[in-house]
Amino acid sequence: MKRDLMPLCCIVTPNLPELALLTGSEPASDEDGALQQGQRLQAVGPQALLIKGGHASGPRSADILLRSDHEPIHFDTPRLAISMRGTGCMLASAIAAHLAKAKSLEDSVREGKLF
């Protein structure tokens, strides 16, 4: 998957446990660790990476968009008060829908988060 599929991807949207698995690491305990893992994963080819912070702790859910030659962009929203499954899939689908409407990657992520 990392060798054959990810280099073809416009964006990959792993949560913290998935990011750890893809980098062969333990789940990151802080933002710096997540950024380091994200940079390692991005080196194998995806054009962009959205590290989803829904599995972190705290009252806010912070996602980080990584792109080559760009500073990381943080998307910080209140954490949902309930536990739900499928929110990451919904986010990835919303981002894809906005990209299909010719929105920029950053705007597509922002619109997806609002959805």
Q: What is the pTM of this model?
A: 0.85
**pLDDT per position as a tens digit, 69-96:** 899 999 987 766 666 666 788 899 999 9
In this structure, what token pair is assigned to residue 84?
A: 């739900």
At residue 18 the predicted structure's pLDDT band, cuts being 50, 70 and 90, is very high
- The 10 Å Cβ neighbour count of residue 16 is 19
Rounded Cα gap, residues 43 and 63, in angstroms: 19
**What is the rounded average pLDDT for all residues in the chain?**
87
Q: Which helix (H) or strand (E) holds 65?
A: strand 60-67
At residue 13 the predicted structure's pLDDT band, cuts being 50, 70 and 90, is very high
Residue 18, burial from CB neighbour count under 10 angstroms (0-12, 13-18, 19+): middle
**pLDDT per position as a tens digit, 31-76:** 899 999 999 999 888 899 999 876 656 657 789 999 988 999 999 8
- Across 7-23, average pLDDT: 93
